[in-house]
Structure 1
């Protein structure tokens, strides 16, 4: 497996669409999925490749001069639990540290609402993220937004 930074707009869009459409449990709301695809083209975009097949990707966006947000991430289900998400994250974390950022943040649905998102929460906690704040209605009352943070110092 190889992790690569993608800069081409069309490649980003193609990879994001392919992977997010294959993950309806997390990206089943078409409007939200289309926004992730569109937004990913302007963000730092890392892809995991097995041979030449994209198996996962991760995007970072700057939310302040000190903070990058892991804005979207997806790994094909058949590649889950093989370390791909962790490798993508470690590459992104290294990039953030080397470029002078102090924090990483990520938003997801709060633990205890959906099994798929409970697994996502455990993944982020396992990477070393810490709970920062919950916004109960940011995404609607059925999807309370959990924000996790990580210091890079």
Structure 2
């Protein structure tokens, strides 16, 4: 299923996509291995706008957005099929979401991920990815998630 970002069609935003997204989450236990949290993601994916990365009629990644105000939104959850990692799918999803939000007047985009004080190597890759697409660490919260530090990363959109 290895893809090239030029072969990807990003569709959305659409609601009710949990059935297409859950299988990808389950292929990524390093990030989504806590069943209770995974079920929460799946429930929210069905209610929130989701962008799908499609290659050869198969969903190879997705990004779900939660808008907090007219000026601020969050990447609620994003995942890319393991065989499509490091192929540009995630970058393309983030780019399309940023363009969509920016055109509707959203000024800030945030993402929450496992904090810097936790040694998990997979989340170190996640933080590096988000930094590579322009997000900056803002604050680490130690009481937002049970037993895990939460790093809030933010990016200012252009709002042209």
Task: State the TM-score bracket (shorter-chain normalisation).
Answer: over 0.9
Which portions of structure 1, spanning 4 or more consecutive aligned residues, are displaced by more than 3 angstroms? none
Retained in 1: the 8 A contact 2:115–2:149? Answer: yes
Counterpart for residue 51 of structure 2: 46
Tell me the SS of whatever aligns to 2:145: coil
State the Cα deviation string for residues 6-59 of structure 1 (Å, max 9, x = none). 5252xx011121111111110011110011011011211001111111110000
Whether 2:131 is the aligned partner of 1:116: answer: no
Tell which has more relative contact order, 1 or 2 (C-alpha 8 A, sep 6+): 2
TM-score normalised by length of structure 2: 0.90
Q: How does 1:1-153 map to 2 (within 5 A)?
A: 1-9=8-16, 12-111=17-116, 112-141=118-147, 143-153=148-158
Gap runs ≥5 in structure 2: 1-7
TM-score by length of 1: 0.94
SS of the equivalent of 1:64 reads: coil
Please give the per-residue CA displacement for 1:74-118, whole angstroms capped at 9, x wherever unaligned.
001111000000000000000110011010000000135200000
Q: How many residues align?
A: 150
Structure 1: 5+ residue stretches without partners: none
SS in 2 for 1:105: strand
Q: Distance in 2 between matches of 1:92 and 1:6?
A: 9
SS at match of 2:132: helix
3-state SS in 2 of match to 1:145: strand
